[in-house]
Amino acid sequence: MVILFELALTFYFAATIVGVVELFKSSRATTRLLLILAAVGFGFHTANIVTRFIIAGHLPITNMHEASSFFSWCIVLLFFYIEYRYKVGLLGSFIMPVVFLIMLSSSILPRGIKPLSPLLQSSWLAVHTILAFLGDAAFAMAAGIGLMYLVQEHFVKKKHLGSLFQRLPSLQSLDEINYRLISIGFPLLTLAIVTGSIWAESALGSYWRWDPKETWSLITWFIYVFVLHARLRAGWRGRKAAYLSIIGFLAVIFTFFGVNLILKGDHSYLQ
């Protein structure tokens, strides 16, 4: 089981290195190599998650090691979908470093499998967490696309239309994909909050307890409400939308890592 995780981490690292190289000198060969390395890493990663599921008897997301690992798995899954659906050039160069860093953080956290606490022995566990992680993965992808937009816009403004400019998608395409990803992530986050509230009521007798995780999830939700409102009502597109997608993902990262590692609450079982 440990070797599967380490192999996934190794292949993601290799894909990250190829992605960095691709920023300076890309070809069909480097693009294909990045996708192959990421796919092999994803295969080992999936095997690791399945193995932990078989051993534990439940979805492996009940401690920070498992949660970080599953979060990165969701990002890679969505990366392959976007790559297949939109053929976004150099996307792996911006996404795989994020995946590797999250996996690296997971690698230094305790990996033990402990018995499931009574609070978590619910069918809502898988429903609530899968919705949350897929939504966060969509926001991670949107942030990566937003960063790509800012890089491409820099080249356009400086009129430095070099090889990297030629390999990046158009500003319009990046802006549209950014919006579609947030449009996917927002309802998933909404459903995650709703199912979490239903679960809390059945387990704790209250729909909302202002737990730090709940509070920051709600803050993140309002940030993305603003992102969508600003785009649809105020016409905030392009650079503004790119910056907002990055800011929103920073809130996601704090909600995921900061709240779990710094603040205490009902979700402290994840530590």
Confidence of residue 165 (pLDDT cuts 50, 70, 90): low
Question: What is the reported pLDDT for 236?
Answer: 87
Residue type, 93: S
Phi-psi region of 129 (alpha: psi -120 to 50; beta: other; left: phi over 0): alpha
Angle between helices 238-253 and 171-204 (to 10 degrees): 30
Residue 163 backbone phi and psi in degrees, to 5: -65, -35
Q: Give me the pLDDT at residue 160, please.
A: 63
Kindly indicate the confidence band of residue 41, based on its pLDDT and cuts at 50, 70 and 90: very high
Rounded Cα–Cα distance for residues 140 and 91 (Å): 12
- How much is the pLDDT for 37? 97
Where on the phi/psi map is residue 215: left (φ > 0), alpha (ψ -120 to 50), or beta? alpha
Residue type for 143, please? A
pLDDT in tens, 172-214: 999 999 999 999 999 999 999 999 899 888 877 777 777 888 8
Has residue 268 got a pLDDT over 70? no
Q: Is the pLDDT of residue 263 over 80?
A: no
More confident residue, 110 or 36: 36
Quote the CA–CA distance of 253 and 125 in Å, as a whole number.
21
Nearest CA-CA partner of 64 in 265, 194, 266, 259: 259
Tell the residue number behind the tokens 């992808």, with chain if given: 141
pLDDT at 232: 86
Alpha-carbon distance 63 to 216, whole Å?
19
| pLDDT, position 138 | 97
Mapped onto helix, strand or coil, the DSSP state of residue 210 is coil
Amino acid symbol at 251: A
pLDDT digits (tens, 9 = 90+) for 106-155: 999 888 888 887 777 788 888 999 999 999 999 999 999 999 999 988 88
Residue located via tokens 């090889």: 163
CA 156 to chain centre: 28
* pLDDT, tens only, 54-87: 998 888 988 899 999 999 999 999 999 999 998 8
Q: Determine the pLDDT at residue 168.
A: 82
